[in-house]
Amino acid sequence: MPTSHADVVTEHASRYLQQLCKHWAHKFPVAFDLNHGTIDLSLGRTVLDADPAALHIAVTADEAGSLERLETVVTDHIKRFAFREELTFDWRKASAA
């Protein structure tokens, strides 16, 4: 399945991870704690890992055409939560094994 990753530099990674998971918990299957979260969206799966310096995001789409859409949806939501800082999302496609 198509996958991509982004490492987003921020001191507020855990906060954004929790906000995103709580935001979608009413609509999709979600599991999270302070440092790890998974969200099973209709477009695919999002896995989030927070450390003190960055939010690490992996998205896996059910089909290739949905991967960019999933990246955009996740990016847009996190940017809304992080309106006080300018975040950079450099999505990198995972190579096929």
15-33 pLDDT, tens digit each: 999 999 999 999 999 999 9
Mean pLDDT of the 41-56 span: 97
* pTM score: 0.93
Strand partners, 37: 32, 48
Which residues make Cβ contacts (< 8 Å) with residue 12, sequence separation at least 6? 82, 85
